[in-house]
Amino acid sequence: MNAERTRRISSHFAPEAGTPPNPSLCETCVEILDGGAGISIMSGHNSGPACSSSERVRQLEDLQFSLGEGPCHDAYATDATITEPDIANTTNSRWPSCNPLAIELGA
């Protein structure tokens, strides 16, 4: 992700010290990234989806937490951006349980 996009998204998490996140954070991400957005909290017992820009994205976020695999889990585990250009490519599937169901949901 380029620096300007990162700065714009980050500014909505805490615009000023001590202020809560912007309630329209997912919508802001959609505007900046031109796609759907889901934000999940990863912190041990309290992990899970926090917001999503659509019902489809909410289902995809829930799917990852139900199955315990997917890009959100990998991003958290590796502390790196995770991209997958073709989840239908089963010969190189990172998430064998998640991919078929994500495709069914329209990912």
Hey, how many other C-beta atoms are within 10 angstroms of the C-beta on 95?
Answer: 20
Residue 29 confidence (pLDDT)? 80
Do the bridges between strand 48-52 and strand 38-41 make them parallel or antiparallel, or are there none, so unpaired? Answer: antiparallel
Give the span between the Cα atoms of 101 and 13, in whole angstroms: 31
The per-residue pLDDT for range 93-103, each reduced to its tens digit, is: 789 999 999 99
Closest CA to 76 of 67, 87, 68, 86: 68
Query: Would you place residue 69 in the very low, low, confident or very high pLDDT band (cuts 50, 70, 90)?
Result: very high
Residue 64 confidence (pLDDT)? 92
Average pLDDT, the chain: 79
Report the percentage of the chain scoring pLDDT > 70: 74
Parse the chain into domains and list their residue ranges: 3-104
Query: Would you place residue 67 in the very low, low, confident or very high pLDDT band (cuts 50, 70, 90)?
Result: very high
Helices and strands (H, E) in the chain, number of each type = 5, 2
The per-residue pLDDT for range 10-48, each reduced to its tens digit, is: 666 555 555 555 557 778 888 887 778 888 877 766 677
Answer yes or no: are the C-beta atoms of 9 and 28 closer than 8 Å.
Answer: yes
